[in-house]
């Protein structure tokens, strides 16, 4: 297999024709919260699953043509600002005004509003398939607040997650759903504070596997019941209701808080002929 690198113009021509109407997001924790803990930075803990010795493993996304949105340029025409409420376990309304562009990045804010809380969600207009997805981001530092980068489709419910659980931004959770079946949570110890500075987080989604990366290093692979439906690229920040053990007890006194995003990258996958 190979990862095809496209120019920005070619990528736009490829992606806009497959645009579909956005669907409702229901990106909460699954009923199974039996998280695996990775307490070592040694890739050998995951054995052959990591793929760190795979000659086909993608390089870090640094080339401009691989970035489909660079937020130093402001709002992207490839994305929409979400408006509306999701319901449990989300305890906020997504407000377009909470998506902001300052200091060379995009900020997704969680704020205290007159009738509750306002979160933020930014989602692609187009649907994407197998490939290498990457983001440069800083998490929101607040217990009970989730900062994310993920792919999602509502019917069937397929999803691939990179999530910071605000109770501890020195770790990150990877997860995925296939036709609504989750329970694949994996918590990775970063060795740094993901709310303090920008780092690159990524996943390589193939027909038979998903491999997650931190700063270009493969750290976890899943090979069972892999999702297949084309999905939107999404980011959101929200406060969690009724899952304190998962996200931490929400500390409203720290609001407003935000997650920061510098850019998003995508390189589509094509099989060797």
In whole angstroms, give the CA distance from residue 89 to residue 145: 11
Q: How many CB atoms lie within 10 A of CB 181?
A: 15
Extents of the domains making up the chain: 2-24+34-270
Q: For residue 231, how far is the Cα from the chain centroid?
A: 12
Please tell me the predicted confidence (pLDDT) of residue 237. Answer: 98
Q: Give the chain's length.
A: 273
- Residues (pLDDT < 70) of the chain are 1-65, 272-273
Question: Which residues form the catalytic set?
Answer: 159, 163
Please tell me the predicted confidence (pLDDT) of residue 64. Answer: 64
Tell me the pTM.
Answer: 0.80
Q: How many CB atoms lie within 10 A of CB 68?
A: 23
Please tell me the predicted confidence (pLDDT) of residue 88. Answer: 86
3-state secondary structure the chain: CEECCCCHHHHHHHHHHHECCCCCCCCCCCCCCCCEEECCCCHHHHHHHHCCCCCCCCCCCCCHHHEEEEHHHCCCCCEEECCEECCCCECCEECHHHEEEECCEEEEEEEEECCEEEEEEEEECECECCEEEEEEEECCCCCCEEEEEEEEEECCEEEEEEEEECCCCCEEEEEEEECCECCCCEEEECCCCCCCCCEEEEEEEECCEEEEEECCEEEEEECCCCCCCCEEEEEEEEEECCCHHHHCCCCHHHCCEEEEEEEEEEEEEECCC
Max intra-chain CA distance, the chain: 58
Phi, psi torsion values for 142, nearest 5 degrees: -165, 120
How many angstroms separate the first and last alpha carbons of the chain? 9
Please tell me the predicted confidence (pLDDT) of residue 49. Answer: 35
Instruction: Look up the CATH number of domain 2-24+34-270.
Output: 2.60.120.200
Please tell me the predicted confidence (pLDDT) of residue 40. Answer: 37
Report strand pairing: 116-124 vs 93-94: parallel
Instruction: Find out whether 87 and 216 touch, Cβ atoms under 8 Å.
Output: no
Residue 252 CB-half CA count within 13 A: 8
């Amino acid at each position: 297999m190979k990862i095809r690198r496209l120019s920005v113009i070619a990528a736009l021509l490829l992606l806009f024709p497959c645009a579909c109407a956005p669907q409702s997001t229901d990106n909460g924790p699954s009923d199974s919260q039996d998280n695996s803990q990775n307490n070592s930075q040694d890739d050998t803990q995951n054995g052959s699953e990591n793929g760190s010795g795979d000659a086909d493993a993608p390089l870090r996304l640094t080339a401009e043509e691989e970035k489909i949105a660079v937020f130093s340029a402001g709002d992207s025409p490839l994305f929409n600002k979400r408006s509306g409420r999701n319901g449990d376990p989300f305890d906020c309304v997504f407000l377009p005004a909470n998506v902001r562009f300052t200091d060379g990045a995009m900020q997704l804010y969680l704020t205290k509003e007159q009738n509750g809380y306002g979160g933020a969600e930014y989602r692609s207009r187009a649907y994407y398939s197998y490939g290498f997805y990457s983001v440069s981001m800083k998490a929101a530092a607040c217990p009970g607040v989730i900062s994310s980068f993920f792919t999602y489709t509502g019917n069937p419910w397929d999803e691939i997650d990179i999530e910071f659980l605000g109770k501890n931004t020195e770790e990150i959770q990877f997860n995925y759903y296939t036709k609504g079946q989750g329970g694949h949570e994996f918590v990775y110890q970063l060795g740094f504070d993901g709310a303090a500075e920008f780092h690159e987080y990524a996943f390589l989604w193939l027909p038979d596997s998903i491999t997650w990366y931190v700063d270009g290093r493969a750290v976890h692979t899943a090979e069972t019941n892999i999702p297949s439906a084309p999905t939107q690229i999404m980011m959101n920040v929200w406060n969690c209701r009724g899952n304190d053990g998962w996200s931490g007890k929400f500390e409203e006194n720290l609001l407003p808080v935000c997650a920061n995003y510098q850019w998003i990258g995508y390189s589509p996958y094509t099989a060797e002929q």
